[in-house]
Amino acid sequence: MEKVQFSELNLSPEILRAVEDMGFEEATVIQTQSIPLVMAGKDVTGHSQTGTGKTAAFGIPAIERTDKQNPAVQTLVLCPTRELAVQASEELRRYAKYKPGIRILPIYGGQPIERQIRELKKGVHIVIGTPGRVMDHMRRRTLRVGEVRLMVLDEADEMLNMGFRDDVETILKDIPTDRQTILFSATMSKEILALTRKYQKDPQLIKVVHKQLTVPLIEQYYYEVPRSKKDKALSRLIDMYNPKLSLVFCNTKRRVDEVAGNLQAMGYSADALHGDMSQAARDRVMNAFRNGTVDVLVATDVAARGIDVEDIEAVFNYDVPQDEEYYVHRIGRTGRAGRTGRAHTFVSGRKEIYALKNIRRYTSAGITRQQVPTLSDVEETKTYMIAEDIKRILDEGDVGRYTKVVDQLMEDEYTSVDIASALLKMILGRDQEDSSDQDVFDGPMGEAGMARLFMNVGRRDGVRPGDIVGSIAGETGIHGKLIGTIDVYDKYTFVEVPQDHAREVLHAMKDVKIRGRRTNIQPARAKRS
């Protein structure tokens, strides 16, 4: 079925105006098929992935059919996670922009229940919540569902995967039987089909064809990588493409923690996101990812539901997903809003190769085999990017104040070529791994027998080389004469210590204060361009 204009869906002028403000012209396939059926009061079962516009498919009809004169809850939406509930609530508010008086409230765990109770007492028309918190309010009778006419289960498969089946069924049993029930799910398992048979009346099935799910602007690649070399492959690809933001998907919470920790140890701004984390911790990580403080987010499939960040330029499947549809969910996080994106999948062993074949068959996707970039590839790309930046700066002009430094160096009989080459070497990282493209990395690299470490203190903190030597010697007992080159910059410092003492230094210097500033120390790596 082809997309249609929103104006062809018989929507009110207020909704059409809100849709226009949001920059949408055409409805998605799921919206085109769902909105007329939901508006007509039909039960609907929608089989569609995340990112196809399901929220509008049920949200717009919910808003259109709300009776503002009746303060009771008329629509109840269940979502598996707090992130999805908040996101859906915000989207519905945008659609209701020109329908003043319609009250929409997200309710979820992690937020003080008293605040939610106060809002519910004022009168709310549309409630969007997680199963546990909705049940809590129903038990307290602070959420009365006697007048609910539209019941929506969003991401139903994930609610079941997260163990909410009993909660969902308890809620459904308390909703009036003459209600309309809408269910959206990315997968159609036996459990989902059982729910539809039990709680829906002659549901209309809407299914988005799988081959339409793959966004054409996403370049898709796979790499045959031994499991022990996946971290190295990941770091090479991040350095090669230098994405603004990237998502790394793992199949287990334990793997998420391991990969995030390994990336942090290599100097990347990375963090983890999974279901075992507290809501406060998840909020902190997501806020850091959205504002760019964290540029590599490592997550499980369930935890990543509800992430809608436009600047994600790359998705890495560290593990091949266990379900073919999860592959589509994952790569759909990049290439949004007309942007291009890249999806990289690591494949280890025969089992994962077969799994990838199933994904290619399932999605009709062109997933191209590639080799992991060599160290020479990475360095060449960095050099090219720096050269382009230099050309841009020269074209912009305004470099006069820096020519004095160059003139002084040339007076010391250095040529302009020598000076430029030294600056490039400094930018690219003074201590590169061996250019023979070896795949064995034995630890932080510095001069022969030395490990190069990074510290987050510098000149602006009043730090001098002597402070670094004194602190390391005092905390570890290593003689100061064994400490190698120390480069102190404005905001950070590089220091070389004997390779066989590197782990001891990293452990002993953790959170040590230098000049009153708590330090972070970690193995250095080549600076990203």
Give the global pTM: 0.52
In a domain, 445, yes or no: no
Q: Is the pLDDT of residue 319 over 50?
A: yes
Can you give the pLDDT at residue 1? 53
For residues 99 and 149, membership in a common domain is answered with yes
pLDDT of residue 24: 67
Cα distance between residue 14 and residue 19, in whole Å: 9
Percent of the chain with pLDDT over 70: 88
Q: Which residues contact 485 (CB under 8 A, 6 or more apart)?
A: 446, 447, 494, 495, 496
Q: Which two tokens stand for residue 32?
A: 């085109």
Predicted pLDDT of residue 93: 95
331-390: pLDDT as tens digits: 888 866 556 788 999 998 777 887 788 788 777 777 888 888 877 777 767 776 777 778
Does 125 or 440 have the greater pLDDT score?
125
- Residue 353's φ and ψ, nearest 5 degrees, are -65, -45
Q: SS3 string of 233-285? A: HHHHHHHHHCCCEEEEECCCHHHHHHHHHHHHHCCCCEEEECCCCCHHHHHHH
The predicted pLDDT at position 49 comes to 63
Q: Are residues 100 and 129 located together in one domain of the fold?
A: yes
Q: Above 90 in pLDDT, residue 417?
A: no
* pLDDT of the residue at 357: 82
> Are 26 and 160 found together in one domain?
yes
**CB contact at 8 A, 132 and 169:** no
Label residue 87 by pLDDT band (50, 70, 90).
confident
Mean pLDDT of 86-99: 93
Question: How many folded domains does the chain comprise?
Answer: 4
417: containing domain = 376-428
Query: Does the structure show a pLDDT above 60 at 97?
Result: yes
Q: Which of 253-257, 303-307, 328-332, 335-339 has the highest mean pLDDT?
A: 253-257
Whether residue 304 is found in the same domain as residue 357: yes
Same domain, 338 and 485: no
Least confident of 36-45, 110-119, 417-426, 453-462: 417-426
**208 backbone dihedrals φ, ψ, rounded to 5°:** -85, 125
Residue type, 237: L
* Residue of higher predicted confidence among 145 and 210: 145
Domain closes at, from 346, 373, 400 = 373
- Domain assignment of residue 436, yes or no: no
Q: Are residues 237 and 287 in the same domain?
A: yes
Q: Does residue 477 belong to any structural domain of this protein?
A: yes
Asked whether residue 254 is assigned to any structural domain, the reply reads yes
The average confidence (pLDDT) of the chain is 83
- Classified as helix, coil or strand, 28 is coil
474 shares a domain with 412? no
Please state, in angstroms and as integers, the Cα–Cα distance from residue 23 to each residue in 20, 90, 307, following that order.
5, 16, 20
Mean pLDDT of 224-247: 90
Q: Does residue 506 come out as left (phi exceeding 0), alpha (psi in the -120 to 50 range) or beta?
A: alpha
* 399 found inside a domain: yes
Q: Are residues 421 and 380 part of one domain?
A: yes
Residue 78's beta-bridge partner residues?
129, 153
Residues 101 and 173 in one domain: yes
Is residue 440 over pLDDT 50? no
Is residue 388 in a domain? yes
Mark which of 208, 232, 249 sits at the end of a domain: 208
Most confident of 150-164, 273-287, 359-373, 450-464: 150-164
Q: Would you place residue 460 in the very low, low, confident or very high pLDDT band (cuts 50, 70, 90)?
A: confident
pLDDT in tens, 261-271: 999 988 899 99
In 74-217, DSSP assigns E strands to: 75-78, 104-107, 126-129, 150-153, 180-185, 204-207
Residue 528 binned pLDDT confidence (cut-offs 50, 70, 90): very low
Looking at the domain assignment, is residue 315 inside a domain? Answer: yes
Kindly report the CATH number assigned to the domain that includes residue 227.
3.40.50.300
User: What is the reported pLDDT for 361?
Assistant: 75
Tell me the two tokens of residue 187. 């997968």
Among the listed residues 171, 201, 141, the one whose alpha carbon sits nearest the alpha carbon of residue 76: 171
Q: How far apart are CA 196 and CA 71, in angstroms?
A: 29
Residue finishing a domain among 191, 208, 225: 208
Query: Do 98 and 221 sit in the same domain of this protein?
Result: no
Least confident among 48-62, 132-146, 199-213, 285-299: 199-213
For residue 508, tell me if it sits in a domain.
yes
Whole-number pLDDT of residue 306: 65
**Predicted local confidence at residue 380, as pLDDT:** 66
Q: Greater confidence, 239 or 375? A: 239
User: Residue 259: how many CA atoms within 13 Å on its side-chain side?
Assistant: 31
Question: Cβ neighbours of residue 124 under 8 Å, at least 6 residues apart?
Answer: 71, 73, 103, 104, 105
Rounded distance, CA 329 to CA 355, Å? 16
Is 272 found in the same domain as 190? no
Domain of residue 458, CATH code:
3.30.70.330
For residue 330, the model assigns a pLDDT of 85
Contact 419, 410 (CB under 8 A): yes
410 and 300 assigned to the same domain: no
